[in-house]
């Protein structure tokens, strides 16, 4: 039996079952929460959303169960299948989320293996706040950095990531030299994911390369990126900051199409056209593309 204690409840894995209990929950945290123990077969668990939260703040996990309430209908502290946890429990719950994302019944069929493979990448994307470069997703699944881990294992996982190319829960686009994904196990709408990619592309060309965390946080207020933690913003900025020429912060010389990023078409999956593509590129904003863009 394994038990994970959060601030507003507990998750217990016991044999083939997952229990969610609300023992010793402080009064302010028990509003709208079902206080009776809840039990589900692990094979009915289809995934687990993980929100890391700020370094010194609380995070949350939400167990996704077949035919259960969707995450969109609740906040993290009100969803009946969610647990809020303290900063010192973050890594423990991160491991739980990874465990639950592969907990459903797995057969040896090709279809089942594909579903399981897709889930582990989607869970990794969730753990990265729903916006990540392809190499980040692979690194999370591998459990190591590309430069430090087994190259063969990393390469194999990178090949497996192609399973998400046509997955309706993920939207892809090139931003600079990186292939970025937005989505996850509870991905929201395609339109919202596209807006997130456009907002990140705009951020990548609107700030100086040396921008600090405060400047980044201020820049994303009121945008589809506002949900990102300060730490996650800094990590994402490291991936695109090298595109910026500090001598002219308004655009990236040689890399940015001469148009506002918010007006650029997002090329996804088959086309893989860049939001910040080089002038003259066949997938640039002033070129027509009939192979997967819109």
Higher pLDDT, 104 or 184: 184
Residue 213 to residue 220: CA distance in whole angstroms? 11
For residue range 110-152, list pLDDT tens digits in order: 433 444 578 889 888 988 999 999 999 998 888 755 445 567 7
Pair 251, 258: CB distance under 8 Å: yes
Domains delineated in the chain: 2-100 (2.30.29), 110-294 (no CATH)
**Is the entire prediction scored with pTM above 0.75?**
no
The pLDDT, as a whole number, for residue 206 is: 87
Pair 179, 44: CB distance under 8 Å: no
The pLDDT, as a whole number, for residue 31 is: 52
Q: Which of 179, 229, 223 is nearest to 198 (CA)?
A: 223
- Give 82's Cβ-side CA count (13 Å radius): 24
The pLDDT, as a whole number, for residue 294 is: 28
For residue range 167-186, list pLDDT tens digits in order: 899 999 999 888 999 998 87
The pLDDT, as a whole number, for residue 204 is: 87
Query: C-alpha dihedral over 108, 109, 112, 114, to 10 degrees?
Result: 110
Residue 220 to residue 230: CA distance in whole angstroms? 10
Residue 131 to residue 183: CA distance in whole angstroms? 7
For residue range 24-51, list pLDDT tens digits in order: 776 555 556 667 888 988 888 888 888 8
The pLDDT, as a whole number, for residue 102 is: 64
The pLDDT, as a whole number, for residue 222 is: 94
pLDDT band at 233 (very low <50, low <70, confident <90, very high): very high
């Amino acid at each position: 039996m394994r038990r994970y204690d959060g601030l507003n409840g507990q998750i217990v894995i016991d044999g083939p079952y997952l229990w969610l209990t609300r023992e010793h929950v402080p009064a302010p945290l028990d509003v709208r929460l079902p206080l009776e123990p809840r039990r589900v077969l692990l094979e009915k668990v289809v995934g687990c959303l993980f929100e890391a939260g700020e370094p010194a703040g609380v995070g949350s996990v939400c167990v996704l169960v077949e035919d259960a309430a969707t995450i969109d209908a609740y906040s993290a502290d009100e969803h009946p299948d969610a647990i809020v946890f303290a900063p010192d429990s973050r890594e423990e719950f991160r491991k739980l989320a990874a465990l639950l994302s592969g907990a459903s019944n797995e057969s040896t069929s090709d279809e089942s293996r594909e579903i399981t493979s897709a889930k582990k990448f989607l869970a990794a994307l969730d753990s990265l706040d729903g916006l990540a470069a392809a190499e980040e997703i692979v690194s999370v699944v591998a459990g190591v950095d590309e430069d430090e881990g087994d190259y063969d294992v990393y390469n194999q996982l990178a090949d497996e990531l192609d399973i998400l190319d046509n997955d309706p829960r993920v939207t892809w686009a090139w931003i600079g030299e990186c292939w970025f994904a937005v989505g996850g196990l509870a991905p929201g709408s395609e339109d919202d994911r596209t807006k997130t990619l456009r907002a990140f592309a705009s951020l990548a060309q609107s700030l100086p390369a040396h921008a600090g965390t405060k400047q980044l946080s201020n820049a994303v207020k009121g945008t589809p990126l506002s949900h990102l933690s300060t730490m996650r913003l800094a990590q994402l900025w490291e991936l695109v900051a090298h595109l910026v020429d500090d001598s002219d912060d308004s655009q990236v010389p040689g890399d940015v199409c001469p148009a506002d990023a918010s007006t650029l078409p997002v090329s996804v999956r088959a086309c893989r056209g860049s939001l910040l593509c080089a002038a003259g590129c066949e997938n640039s904003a002033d070129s027509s593309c009939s192979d997967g863009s819109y």
